[in-house]
Amino acid sequence: MYLTKEEERILNGDFGLWPAKAMKLLVAQGELNDAKRMIKIERAHISGVSYKTAGLPMIELLEDMVRNGVRVKIFSTLNPAGMDLERWKELGVPEDFAKLQKRLIDAYVKLGVIPTLTCAPYLAENRPKFAEPVAFSESSAVVFVNSVLGARTNRNGNLDVLSAAIVGRIPKMGLLLKENRRGTTLIKVKAKPNGEYYYGLLGLYVGNILSPREIPVFELESKPGIWEMRALGAGLAAAGSTAMFHIVGITPEAKNREEAFQGDQPKERLAIQHSDLISFEQEHFPSDIEPDLIAIGCPHATIEEIKEIARKIGNRKVKNNVRFWIYTSRYVKQKLRDIGILNKLEMQGIKIISDTCMVVSPIEALGIKKVYTNSGKAAWYIPKLTKNLAVAKIKSLDQIINKVTA
Ligand code: F3S
C-alpha cells in the first residue's frame, strides 16, 4: 500500500506512539482489503461511548492516550452514552455507573472529541456532503449517510474511527469506492409501507436474510420520507450487516434501476409481501404485552417526529403506570424548548431524554421488563443487550399513543 512521506513518518512514530499505533491499525486494515492508498478525511463519528457496552478497558485505553497528549486531528463527534448527563439521577441510573460513564466521556473530550452524544449527528453538527469520504462507526448513521445523503463511509468499528480521527486519514477501500456501491440484490416490495414502524420492520426482515456485504436495491409501491428511509436503514443494519441500500427513483445514487446496479444485472431477486412482514413480526416479537416503558427515538428522534407525537397526543396525558420516554439529541431538545413543545410534553407525562438511548442505557437496572417502541432496531436489540431481562414489541406510533394515553 502506498504511503506518503508524512504517513510513513506517522507510522514510524515521529509524531508519537499513539498516532503510530493508529496508523498501523489503518494500514493493516487497508492491506487486508487491497487498498492502494490512504485518503484524507475531515470528519468522524465515534461509537463505543456507553459504559454499558464499552466497559473499563475502553476508559483505561482513552486515559492512556490522554496522558500521552493525543488529540484528534479532525472534527469528531460522539455517539450516545449510557445516561442523560443532566437527568441520570431522576431516571434511576446507579451512582457507580454514572461515575464511570462520566470518566469515559471526559477522556473523549480531552482527546478533542465533541460530546454531541447522539447517533444522529447528521441532524446538526456532523452532516457529510454528497460523495464526501468520512469515518463513521454507528451502524444506523453509516447506512443513513451512505444511502440517503450519498456520503461515503465503511461500517467501521469504534477503534478504527478513533484511529482515523487521530491521523485524519482512512484507507481508500470498500464503500469509499464508487464501484463497491453498486446494488447487488433487487427487492420488490409488494406492499405499501407506511411510517417508521413499518419501514423498520421491513429493514429487519431484509437485513435478517441478506448475506454480509450485499447492497439491497428496493423497488417500492410507496414513496418513503427521509425518516422512513432512516428507519429502514437502521433495521437493515441491526438485523444484518448492511451498510448501504438504494431505493429506485429516490436515493441519490439510484435515479433508476440501471444506475443503482451501475449497469449490471442483480445477483439475486426477492419479492416481499405484507404477509411476510407480519409472519416475521409474530415470530420475533412477543404477541402482546402490557408495557412499562414506551421508548421512542432509535435512531434519536427528530424535531418532526416529536412534533408529530405532540400533535397525535393533543391534550391527552400518559397513564400513570407507564413511562413514556423520547430519546433525542441535546440539539433537538433545545429546539423543542425554543418552540415551546418541551414543557407541554413533560406536563403530559412524556420525558425528553438526551445523551443516551433505550438500548445503551441500563434500563434493566431500573426494573424495566416490557417495552413498546416504534423502532425495529430498538425492538431487535433490547432483549439482546439486556440479556433477555426485557422484551420489546414493535408498534406504530398511533397504536402506542392510543394504548397508553387517556
Ligand atoms: Fe441510536 Fe441507541 Fe438506536 S445509539 S440508533 S438510539 S440503539
The pLDDT value recorded for residue 287 is 87
Say yes or no: CB of residue 300 within 6 Å of ligand 1: yes
**Closest Cα to atom 6 of ligand 1:** 298
Considering the entire predicted model, what is its pTM?
Answer: 0.96
The pLDDT value recorded for residue 353 is 98
Which ligand 1 atom is the nearest neighbour of the CA of 79? 4
DSSP 8-state assignment for residue 37: B
Say yes or no: CB of residue 119 within 6 Å of ligand 1: yes
Say yes or no: CB of residue 357 within 6 Å of ligand 1: yes
Q: What is the DSSP string of 39-94?
A: EE-SEEEE----HHHHHHHHHHHHHHHHHTT---SSEEEE---SS-TTTTTTTT--
Bridge partners (DSSP) of residue 323 are 293
**Which residue from 196, 242, 300 has its CB within 8 A of the most atoms of ligand 1, so it is best to mutate?**
300
The pLDDT value recorded for residue 288 is 83
Q: What is the DSSP string of 149-199?
A: I--B-----HHHHHHHHHHTEEES-GGGSGGGG---EEEEEES---HHHHH
Contact 378, 237 (CB under 8 A): no
Which ligand 1 atom is the nearest neighbour of the CA of 297? 6
The pLDDT value recorded for residue 212 is 87
Which ligand 1 atom is the nearest neighbour of the CA of 299? 5
DSSP 8-state assignment for residue 388: T
Full strand arrangement of the beta sheet holding 370-373: 350-354, 323-328, 293-301, 370-373, 391-394
Ligand 1: centre distance to CA 72 (Å): 24
- Strand locations in 178-310, DSSP E? 185-190, 216-219, 246-247, 268-273, 293-301
Label residue 314 exposed, middle or buried (CB < 10 Å: 0-12, 13-18, 19+). Answer: exposed
Give the residue carrying C-alpha cell 486531528: 73
What is the C-alpha to C-alpha distance for residues 379 and 281, in angstroms, rounded to an integer? 10
What is the C-alpha to C-alpha distance for residues 54 and 60, in angstroms, rounded to an integer? 11
Residue 316: CB atoms within 10 Å: 14
Sign of CA dihedral 271, 275, 277, 283: negative
Contact 356, 329 (CB under 8 A): no
C-alpha cell at 12: 514510524
Say yes or no: CB of residue 353 within 6 Å of ligand 1: no
Q: Which domains does the chain have, with CATH numbers?
A: 5-178 (3.30.499.10), 182-283 (3.40.50), 286-404 (3.30.499.10)
Bridge partners (DSSP) of residue 371 are 293, 392
Cα separation values, 381 from 20, 121, 272, 361, 384, Å: 35, 21, 23, 12, 5
Which ligand 1 atom is the nearest neighbour of the CA of 381? 7
Say yes or no: CB of residue 299 within 6 Å of ligand 1: yes
Ligand 1: centre distance to CA 6 (Å): 37
**Closest Cα to atom 5 of ligand 1:** 299
Biggest CA pair distance of the chain: 67
Q: What is the SS3 assignment for 133? A: strand
How many degrees, rounded to 5, is the angle at CA 380 between CA 376 and CA 386? Answer: 135
The pLDDT value recorded for residue 113 is 98
Ligand 1: centre distance to CA 274 (Å): 26
What is the C-alpha to C-alpha distance for residues 265 and 184, in angstroms, rounded to an integer? 8
pLDDT digits (tens), the chain, 406 positions: 999 999 999 999 999 999 999 999 999 999 999 999 999 999 999 999 999 999 999 999 999 999 999 999 999 999 999 999 999 999 999 999 999 999 999 999 999 999 999 999 999 889 999 999 999 999 999 999 999 999 999 999 999 999 999 999 999 999 999 999 999 999 999 988 889 999 999 999 999 999 988 999 999 999 999 999 999 999 999 999 999 999 999 999 999 999 999 999 999 999 999 999 999 999 999 988 999 999 999 999 999 999 999 999 999 999 999 999 999 999 999 999 999 999 999 999 999 999 999 999 999 988 999 999 999 999 999 999 998 889 999 999 999 999 999 9
Contact 136, 156 (CB under 8 A): yes
Label residue 9 exposed, middle or buried (CB < 10 Å: 0-12, 13-18, 19+). Answer: middle
**Closest Cα to atom 1 of ligand 1:** 299
The pLDDT value recorded for residue 125 is 84
